[in-house]
Amino acid sequence: MKNKFICFEGVDGSGKTTLARSLAEGIGARYFYSPPEILLPIRSEVYRYHVPVRFQYYLLGNAITSEDVRRTLADQSAVVDRYIYSTLAFHFQLQDENTRDLLLPDAIIYVTASWDEIDRRLSGRRHRKSGEQIPYLRSVHQQYRRILGNLDSVVEIDTTGEAPAESLGKIREALGV
């Protein structure tokens, strides 16, 4: 079987990270998180700047992840927790041609949940960020719909009221892994 590049997308609190980690472990894939570890030390500093700087920071992260995934695919599958589609959805006002050289995934898992479920999950986190407010996340969700709407490789998974294992089973079935 050809090694696969699978990315997970969705608003905060939808269940992406739990499912991405579980799938990677279950199929023996390498797990990647955005932004890549090499950029994490400057992340808080980047947020002192205006949105265009943050957009470039995340584009750089996608370029690094793209190269890392390319190398990984020679030996194993790759599962990425947030990729270019998150960058575009969260920075929709700045979209341009800076993304054409990135490796595209074989499958995009778009993870959703009801707004009540997302609010409950986010409220349970130790530090809820300002960008994790439901009205803002609704607008990001609409951008995801616009960006992912015409792509054939999207598998949508609604995690509302499901245990991660149940959602993971649906993902594995859809991917045939």
The reported pLDDT for the residue numbered 6 is 96
Longest dimension (CA), the chain: 45
For residue 97, the model assigns a pLDDT of 52
What is the pTM for the complete model shown? 0.71
Class of domain 5-175: alpha beta
Q: What pLDDT sits at residue 128?
A: 65
User: Per residue in 8-47, pLDDT tens?
Assistant: 998 888 999 999 999 999 999 999 998 999 999 999 999 8
Weakest mean pLDDT among 51-55, 78-82, 116-120, 159-163 = 51-55
Residue ranges covered by each domain of the chain: 5-175
The whole-chain average pLDDT of the chain stands at: 89
In angstroms, the CA 160 to CA 155 distance is 16
Sign for the CA dihedral angle at 100, 38, 18, 76 comes to: positive
By CB atoms closer than 10 A (0-12, 13-18, 19+), residue 95 is: middle
Binned at pLDDT 50, 70 and 90, residue 173 comes out as: very high
pLDDT reading at 96 higher than 60: no
Q: Reduced to 3 states, what is the DSSP secondary structure of residue 60?
A: helix
- What is the average pLDDT across 104-113? 92
